[in-house]
Amino acid sequence: MSSDVRFIDFKSDKQPTWCPGCGDFGTMNGMMKALAETGNHPDDTFVVAGIGCSGKIGTYMHSYALHGVHGRALPVGIGAKLANPELEVMVAGGDGDGYSIGAGHFVHAVRRNVDMSYVVMDNRIYGLTKGQASPTSREDFETSTTPDGTNMPPVNPLALALSAGATFIAQSFSSDSQRHTEIVKEAVEHDGFGFVNVYSPCVTFNDVDTYDYFRDAVVDLDETDHDRHDKDAAREKVLDGDTEYTGVIYQEENSVPWEEREGLDENMAEIPDGAPEGAMDLVREFY
d(CA 230, CA 67): 36
Minimum distance of Mg ion from residue 260's CB (angstroms): 33
Number of other residues whose CB lies within 10 A of the CB of residue 104? 11
Instruction: Report the residue number, 164 or 203, with the smaller CB distance to ligand SF4.
Output: 203
When asked if residue 129 is in the footprint of ligand SF4 (CB under 6 A), the reply is: no
Strands 88-94 vs 116-122: parallel, antiparallel or unpaired: parallel
When asked if residue 213 is in the footprint of ligand SF4 (CB under 6 A), the reply is: no
Q: Which stretch binds ligand SF4 (CB under 6 A): 17-25, 33-41, 84-92, 220-228?
A: 17-25
Instruction: Report the residue number, 123 or 197, with the smaller CB distance to Mg ion.
Output: 123
Among 29, 40, 45, 123, binds ligand SF4 (CB under 6 A): 123
Window 189-208: contact mask with ligand SF4 (x via CB under 6 A):
-------------xxxx---
Amino acid at 200: S
Apex 44 CA angle, 40 and 47, nearest 5:
90
Among 30, 58, 96, 127, binds ligand SF4 (CB under 6 A): 127
Tell me which residues in 35-64 interact with ligand SF4 (CB under 6 A). Answer: 53
Instruction: Report the residue number, 53 or 87, with the smaller CB distance to ligand SF4.
Output: 53
Tell me if 243 sits within 8 A of 170, measured CB to CB.
no
d(CA 86, CA 8): 22
Q: Which of 60, 196, 176 is closest to 121 using CA atoms? A: 196
Q: Which of 218, 257, 238 is closest to 109 using CA atoms? A: 257
Minimum distance of ligand SF4 from residue 62's CB (angstroms): 20
Which residues contribute to the site for ligand SF4 (CB under 6 A)?
Answer: 18-19, 22, 24, 53, 123, 127-128, 202-205
